[in-house]
Amino acid sequence: MYVSTTIMGFVIVEHAILSVMPGREDEFEASFAKAKTIIASMDGFRELTLLRCIERRNTYLLLVEWNRLEDHTEGFRGSAHYQEWRRILHHFYDPLPIVEHYVQVQKA
């Protein structure tokens, strides 16, 4: 079931593990610096965090906050901007990432 608004005032968090081809990490990070301006310009975008794994240098965690699930699944993914995002970044991934969406239920 898709959620059409934020849940209990919390934002939707997109989660993706990005496996970058070994040896292409620096090139990926440079390309990501360009690509992040694309996603940041989308309606409903709130914040983006890209984290690099300490144990596996070629693995990244991408967290993107959206106002609504549809802002990502329909707005961004259905746009020409997403095609540009894919052109800039998807050739670095092996395998392609699985993207899932979360909402906060607890925090300490």
What is the extent of the structural domain holding 54?
19-103
* Number of domains forming the structure of the chain: 1
* Predicted local confidence at residue 2, as pLDDT: 41
* Predicted local confidence at residue 8, as pLDDT: 57
Residue 8 lies in a domain: no
Q: Residue 9 is which amino acid? A: G
> Could you read off the pLDDT of 31-57 as tens digits, one per residue?
999 999 999 999 999 999 999 999 999
Question: What residues have CB less than 8 Å from 31, skipping those under 6 apart?
Answer: 88, 89, 92
Residue 24 lies in a domain: yes
> Could you read off the pLDDT of 67-101 as tens digits, one per residue?
999 999 999 999 999 999 999 999 999 999 999 99
pLDDT confidence of 24, banded at 50, 70, 90?
Answer: very high
Instruction: Reduce the DSSP state of residue 104 to 3 states and report it.
Output: coil
Measured over the CA atoms of residue 83, residue 89, residue 92 and residue 97, the dihedral's sign is negative
pTM, rounded to two decimals: 0.90
- H helices of 1-108, in order, are 25-40, 69-70, 80-89
Cα separation, 29 vs 25, whole angstroms: 6
CATH number, residue 44: 3.30.70.100
Distances (CA, A) of 11 to 43, 50, 63, 65: 14, 17, 12, 6
pLDDT confidence of 107, banded at 50, 70, 90?
Answer: confident
